[in-house]
Amino acid sequence: MNKTRIITAVVLALLLLAGCGSRGGSGPEPEETSTPAPTAAPTATPTVTPSATPAVSTTATPVPTLAPTATPTLVPTFTPTAVPTFTPTPVPDPPFVTKHPVSVTVQEGGSCQFEAGYVNAIWAVWHFVSPDGQTDITYEQIGQRFPTMQVANGMYSTMQLSNIPIGANGWKVYCRYTNNGGSSDTRSAVLTVTERAAPADFGLAGDYMDSVGQRASMRISGSATLYSVTIRWGNSYNETTEWTFSGSFDSTGVLRYYDGVKSNVTYDAYGNPGSVIQYTGGTGSLIYFPATGTISWEDNRESAGASCRFVRGPAPTAVPTNPPAVNEWVDTTDLNAAIYNCGVDFGPPVALPEGYYPETYSSRPGIIEARYSDSGGSRALVIRKSETVSGDALSGDYNAYSHYWDIVLKGVTVHCKGDGNTANVALIDAGISHYSIVCHPGQEGRGLTPDEINTLVNGMQ
């Protein structure tokens, strides 16, 4: 057994020496270390190599310190105030004359008028030029030459002259229109004045009636030297239109006038008249036909013309023909009694415009009326309903207003009269029923707004 160990040791030593020599090193031999022989070969235990995991460095990578970005100080930007650009207002063209006056011939002491027209003028001034052309004066200065002559509307397109003296014969007139762009003159018209002829005396003072429909009447009063004429035209049971003027008939039987006045006259339930002037300065003529004894009248101021032929007849009455009897209207505070009296079913407005208060009811056959006062205590609002009468005949308001227009309230058309913003008269036709709403008649600007009319209409039946 010992012999075997000795052999084994020798072999191992040789092997060891052989291994050392195979290194090829030139250094000193290492000391021999006695290694005991293993008694048994160890059992190999497999080593599990874990999946490679990146090594985490424990040394912190220095993060570069970023220098803070400097926040710039905001310096306010001063925008210079814009210098306004002054655009000069364009200068308009001078006025454009659309109508030139025409020459007239008039008897001494008579009247006439001159008319012109323009576009784009601010004001107008009539001028008078002497027959020799050496003197040019305005209407304001003509009185220094002819103190008895009267000039009306010398700053309007239509100028009237009256009481014209014989010395004005041959003078010319023209109108100068001016605006910011300059002035424009009309052509001149010649005023010819003839000596006064003795007026013809046909004995025409008296009363006349329309020879056809007998709706109009005429009264001529005064003398042949100067007649005053009144013509009345009946429009309804409580309204007439009147024309008044004056003049004398010449030897041919013609009276020419330049001082006509047209008025509308209405009568309340008690026959009291109220008159509103529609225009002044009307022109026209009367022509007498001796063969038939008739007088023909024509007014030039009316847009559609007004004319009539008269024959001698009864005196014209101060009130229209067939006016309502005073006792036909019955006042009451009982709505049912008013409905019974007129025979028209009526439901007054549920709500009223602010400041209006119920006053009373009035009725006559076929018409019922509700009256309301305003805060001032005046009878300011009248609402009527009828199934037989409509329009102005129902409202009884024949005043002339500056604007006429329609509005539609829930499918119902309302015809309005007033200043264009508020209505003094509102007329409504709803089937067989007709309504009129009158608020402060004749006083434009004191009527009802569309909302107030709507309030009234919505609450009525």
Return the pLDDT at 325. Answer: 42
Distance CA 120, CA 367 (A): 50
Distance CA 318, CA 320 (A): 7
Four-CA torsion 116, 121, 123, 127, nearest 10 degrees: -40
Whether the Cβ atoms of residue 379 and residue 368 lie closer than 8 Å to each other? no
311 Cβ neighbours under 8 A, 6+ residues apart: 208, 209, 211, 293, 294
Whether the Cβ atoms of residue 367 and residue 384 lie closer than 8 Å to each other? yes
Return the pLDDT at 399. Answer: 74
Whether the Cβ atoms of residue 362 and residue 371 lie closer than 8 Å to each other? yes
Distance CA 224, CA 49 (A): 151
**In this structure, how many other beta carbons lie within 10 angstroms of the beta carbon of residue 448?**
24
CATH homologous superfamily, domain 96-194: Immunoglobulins (2.60.40.10)
Amino acid at position 277, single letter: I
The angle at the Cα of 303, spanning 448 to 206, to the nearest 5 degrees, equals 105
Whether the Cβ atoms of residue 29 and residue 17 lie closer than 8 Å to each other? no
Amino acid at position 162, single letter: S
Q: Which two tokens stand for residue 3?
A: 């012999």
pLDDT tens digits, the chain, 461 residues: what are they? 556 677 777 667 676 665 544 444 444 444 444 444 444 444 444 444 444 444 444 445 555 555 555 555 555 555 666 566 666 667 789 999 999 999 999 888 778 999 999 999 999 999 999 999 999 999 999 988 998 888 989 999 999 998 899 999 999 999 999 999 999 999 999 999 988 777 888 889 999 988 766 678 899 999 888 899 999 887 666 778 888 998 888 888 888 887 888 888 887 666 677 778 888 878 888 999 988 889 999 888 765 456 788 888 764 444 444 444 444 678 888 888 888 888 888 888 888 888 888 888 888 888 898 888 876 655 578 899 988 888 877 887 777 788 888 888 777 888 898 888 888 899 988 888 889 998 888 788 888 888 888 888 877 76
170-205 CB burial, b ≥16 within 10 A, e <16: ebbbbbbbbbeeeebebebbbbebeeeeebbeeebe
Return the pLDDT at 350. Answer: 81
Return the pLDDT at 72. Answer: 56
- pTM of structure: 0.39
DSSP letter, residue 376: T
Task: Name the residue ranges covered by the structural domains of the chain.
Answer: 96-194, 206-312, 329-458
The angle at the Cα of 429, spanning 416 to 319, to the nearest 5 degrees, equals 70
Return the pLDDT at 116. Answer: 95
CA 65 to chain centroid: 76
